Amino acid sequence: MIQRIQTLYLILAAAISAGLIFVFHLWINNEGAKVFALDDYTYLGMFLGSALLSLISIFRYKNRKSQFVIGRLNIILNLVLLGFFVYQSLNLSGETNVSEKGIGMLLPIFSIVCLVLANKAIKKDEDLVKSVDRLR
C-alpha cells in the first residue's frame, strides 16, 4: 500500500537522487569551478536511474517481492555510483581533477541508507503477510 513507511523511505531516496544533485556540487576542480552531476552525463544518468528505480518501486506495492528486488538493484546502482566517485577522487594517475570534494559525493550513501530501511520494511510486511496466511 502506498501509505506504508517504505514509501516514505523510497520517496526520500528518490528526492536525494533526483533533487539534491542540482543543489550540492560533487567536487571543485583545479580551476576552482564547482562540478555538478549535470556536467557529466554518466553521473547524471546514474542518479536519475536511481530515482526512477525508487519511483518504480513505490508503485509496485502489490508485488512485494519485485519491490524488494528493485530495491536491491537500486542499492547496487548506488554502490557502483559511489565506486565511480571513489575512483574519481583517488585517481591513480597522479594528476587528479578533484582538488576539493563536495557533499554531493555522499549522496549515494544517504540514498543507500534510505533504500536499506525501505527494504527492511518491505521484508517485514512480507513476513507479516506470510504469518497471516499460515493461520488461515
* Residues 15-32 pLDDT 10s: 999 999 888 888 877 777
Helical H segments across the chain, by residue range: 5-18, 41-58, 64-89, 107-135
Using the structure block, give the residue that is written with the C-alpha cell 493461520: 135
Which residues lie closer than 8 Å to 108 by C-beta, 6 or more apart?
Answer: 50, 78, 79, 81, 82, 85
pLDDT digits (tens, 9 = 90+) for 45-102: 999 999 999 999 999 988 989 999 999 999 999 999 999 988 887 774 455 565 677 7
pLDDT digits (tens, 9 = 90+) for 4-15: 899 999 999 999
